[in-house]
Structure formats: structure tokens, C-alpha cells
Structure 1
Amino acid sequence: MAKKPLILITNDDGITAKGIRTLIEVMKTIGDIVVVAPNKPQSAMGHAITINDTLYCDPFVFDPEAIHKEYSCSGTPADCVKLATQQILGRKPDICVSGINHGSNSSINVIYSGTMSAALEAGIEGIPAIGFSLLDYSEHADFEACKPFVKSITERVLQNGLPKGVVLNVNIPKLPLEGIKGTKVCRQAKAMWVEDFDKRKSPQGRDYYWLTGEFVNEDKGEDTDEWALSHGFVSIVPVQFDLTAHHAIQELTNWDLS
């Protein structure tokens, strides 16, 4: 009998979020799981780690009848992966899956994403990793349509591995299963948030600010994650944590920097 893979599960919406409970449900059909996730929402934390505060990671019981282990962490998604690999698991997991995020992590959102920071941290540690997101920000989002895609993509990564230094950013459109046309491997769209700060005044008379913004996609390419999602496909973007702009190296070497 083949040995089951060890799967590390985490997220950024918190250990009780509906998305991670769906991810746990799917992963239990694939392998042995351990959950290490934040004890509260940590959305848009990017790759933050805890260095100036105490870090706690306690056993957590969501389902008293569950046979797998879960841990609730006071830190960020990246902290969760670090603690899991260095203190809890005793060995590297065969794969790390993060999510399912409540909301999009396509295009430029990948930079800010706590979901993807956990996947990237796993990738840095040499663990195949996937971040999953559903384009629905609702606390009560319906994740049923995600399940077959989450399962099949995870199984393919376990079978084939990933290129060195690469993790997957998977976004799923908010559609019923019969409305999703399939998957597309694509690139990150060149888009951005045009932001503003709404200046307000507290009852005590102190100024404060509320971030607002509009997502603007000026990328007309039909090979992007935004195009795929708007046309009913699950987008799969290979992401790397080497941020070197290799194409700019030659130009900079021609500068007089002495």
C-alpha cells in the first residue's frame, strides 16, 4: 500500500474560516493532513513575519471527532509555515496548500496576499506549494465549485512536482461548477489598484484614514489570469520568489556607478 502524502494546510483568513474548512475536507481525501493557521484574520499581510512579539501556537479543536491535528497560531501566514516545518511536523511535508482564500489573489493582489505568502514561504523552504483563492469575499461564500479543481491540481503537483523556486497561484471564478469552463495556465495580468484615503474625524476629534480604491486592469492580453477568470476559467499562474529583474541587469552594468 502506497504511503499517503503529508499535507500542510494553512491560510490567512483564520483557522475557522469556511475556506480553510473546505480545503481540509478536500485534502483529507488525498493524504495525511496537519493544519497550522492564524488564530484571527491576517489578510493582506504580505510576507510579514513576527520578530518583535511573542509567538504562540496552540492545539486547536474544530471537530472533536477529527483524527488529524490542528494548531492555532498567533502570527502571520508565513509564521505558520515556519513553525510547522521547524517545530511541529518533524519533517518537510510533501506539499503545502494555502487557502481557500475569501477573495481574489490574481494579478497584483499576489504581492499583498497572506494566502500566497504562506505558499511562497513553503516554496522558499523547498516544499511544493499552492495558494487557492475564490473570487468571493463573503464570509459565507459557497466553495463547492472549488473542490474538484483543488483536488485535481493538488494531485497533479504531488505526481509531477514543481520547477525549482516556483509555486502556484490558483484563482477560481465565482460560478457554479457547471459554469466553469476549465483551467488555464497563464501569466499575471499587468493591473493595479488606484487608491485613495478617505479622511475622517473620530468622535474625539482626531483625524483618521480609511483606504479605498478601484482595481484597474489595462492589460488586454488573452493569456492573463484576469482574462481567464472573466471568461469562466480557473487561472493557474506559476509564481517565483526570485524578484530579480534579470532583463535589467545588462542595462545597469552599462551605467557608470563608480
Structure 2
Amino acid sequence: MTERPLILVTNDDGITAPGIRALIDVMSEIGNVVVVAPDKPQSAMGHAITINNTLYLNKVSAEQAVVTEYACSGTPVDCVKMAVVEILHRKPDLCVSGINHGSNSSINVIYSGTMSAAVEAAIEGIPSIGFSLCDYDWNADFTPTKEYIRRIATEVLKNGLPDGVLLNVNFPKLAEDAIQGIKVCRQAKAMWMETFDKRKSPSGREYYWLTGEFVNQDNGEDTDEWALNNGYISVVPVQFDLTAYHAMPQLQNWKL
């Protein structure tokens, strides 16, 4: 690629989140960056889109700024759609989402707004990556992730990705010299065992607060959970084709 690539940056924690600021810093070294991100936190929105409400898009960067930034009132997926159709008027060379404050390994990929933004870009035919750090602290240290993000993004720009595939990249909460390396993994079989904390408001009305425990049911040493628990960065190739091909022969034998 002779000229600097056009890179779309988005997230689900909101345009002011430290994680996206760190990602913008790295991407600005690689290419020309346009940011379209939610104007407020949109965590766990999954692949939601706005269809029964208005959408607002506000440019928040100065005219002379190196990076062009827009805040969108919608979901992370809305941000990607708006970026391609209303701002860029073309497909960028790469879409990166994150850096998420917290893990998006295993089953969390289903709920994640960070990953859903990357999935939407992949649906559009854009090479895309979701980045997450296993640290929910708003003031988390993203410095150890930067060199690895640069390396992974550069490889995707250089080599591309298979059709219909994007990357889910998770970083352990470790100092840079403690990270053991990168492992290409499969998604661990795990789930959330949810409970609802039932409470009462000052007016006496009952309400519920979702809580729960993450349960890893997978002992494999080739999973993202194993990698993260053993000091590795996990890279999982993700596809948005949800067809269970292995189940088709069984269903074809049914008397439907």
C-alpha cells in the first residue's frame, strides 16, 4: 500500500473513554484516522441499531486537527453505518473497535458493543478488529497493548482477512514485560450464570439489578480463556455466519 490507509476507529465505551484515545494514538501512526464513536457509553448493546429514534452526529474535532472525530448518539453499530454512508462515502481500509475497558473473550463476544461494531464493519466487507483489555478500570493502563495493536493491525492491512472473518483480540491485565506473547485461539465454551438482585426504590417500587458469575466450562489449552489466564494475548478469528453446518445433516434426515 503506497499511501497511508484510511482507518475507521470506533468503540462502545464512548468517544471520551481512555481506551479509544489509546487506540487513536496507535492508528494515527499507521494511517489517516476518522473516529465515529458513541457520545455516551453503549456497553453490552450487542448488534443493536436505532430504528425508532432520531440519530445525531456531531463533529467534535477542530478543523486543523490531525484526526477527524464525530460523536454519534446511536449504538456502536450505528456508528459504523453512519461512518461508511454519511462521512467517508467509501469503505475504509481497516476498522478497529476499542480498546474496550474489560474482557470480550469467550461468550462475551455475543453481548459486546465493541465486537458488534467490528462485526458490522466485516459485514460491509471491511477488514476489522476488536481490541479489549481485561481491566474494567476507567483509568486502566493501555500502554502495554500499543505495540501489539500496531503489529496486529499492520499484519491485517498487509495480508487481509478471509472473507466474512474478523479478529477478536483480548489483552491480559499485565505489564508489557510480563506478557508471554500472542496465541491464535478458539472461543472458550463459557457462560454467565445470571442472578437478579431485587431491590426497592425510596418510593417502595421494586426493581432489579443484573449480576452474575462467569463460568468457564472449557478445559482446553487452545482457548482464549486459557491464553489470557496464562499471560498471553488471545486472537480469535470470528465469523458472522451463524449457520451450524455440522447440524445440517441431522436435520436433513428429519421427516420435515
Bin the TM-score by the shorter chain. Answer: over 0.9
- What is the number of equivalent residue pairs in this alignment? 256
Q: Distance in 2 between matches of 1:154 and 1:68?
A: 18
Which residue does 1:54 correspond to in 2? 54
What is the CA-CA distance between 1:68 and the residue it aligns to?
A: 1.8
Which residue does 1:15 correspond to in 2? 15
- Residue 13 of structure 1: SS of its match in structure 2? coil
Q: Distance in 1 between matches of 2:168 and 2:100?
A: 11
What is the CA-CA distance between 1:65 and the residue it aligns to?
A: 6.2
1:7-86 alignment to 2 at 5 Å?
7-61=7-61, 66-86=65-85
What is the CA-CA distance between 1:255 and the residue it aligns to?
A: 1.0
- Residue 247 of structure 2: SS of its match in structure 1? helix
What is the CA-CA distance between 1:64 and the residue it aligns to?
A: 8.0
- Residue 140 of structure 1: SS of its match in structure 2? coil
1:110-129 alignment to 2 at 5 Å?
110-129=109-128
Task: Please tell me the residue identity of whatever aligns with 1:228.
Answer: A
Q: Does 1:179 align with 2:166?
A: no
Which residue does 2:195 correspond to in 1? 196
What is the CA-CA distance between 1:108 and the residue it aligns to?
A: 0.2
Which residue does 2:5 correspond to in 1? 5
Which residue does 1:130 correspond to in 2? 129
- Residue 29 of structure 2: SS of its match in structure 1? coil
CA RMSD for the aligned pairs? 1.1
What is the CA-CA distance between 1:83 and the residue it aligns to?
A: 0.3
1:107-256 alignment to 2 at 5 Å?
107-256=106-255
Q: Distance in 2 between matches of 1:77 and 1:164?
A: 22
Residue-by-residue CA offset, 1:179-220 (whole Å, 9 max, x unaligned): 001000000000000010011111111110001100000200
- The structure-2 alpha-carbon separation of the partners of 1:53 and 1:170, relative to structure 1 and needing over 3 Å to count, comes to same
Q: Distance in 1 between matches of 2:8 and 2:66?
A: 15
Task: Please tell me the residue identity of whatever aligns with 1:34.
Answer: V
TM-score, L = length of structure 1: 0.98
Q: Distance in 1 between matches of 2:89 and 2:31?
A: 17
Stretches of structure 2 lacking an aligned partner (at least 5 in a row)? none
What is the CA-CA distance between 1:66 and the residue it aligns to?
A: 2.7
What is the CA-CA distance between 1:77 and the residue it aligns to?
A: 0.3
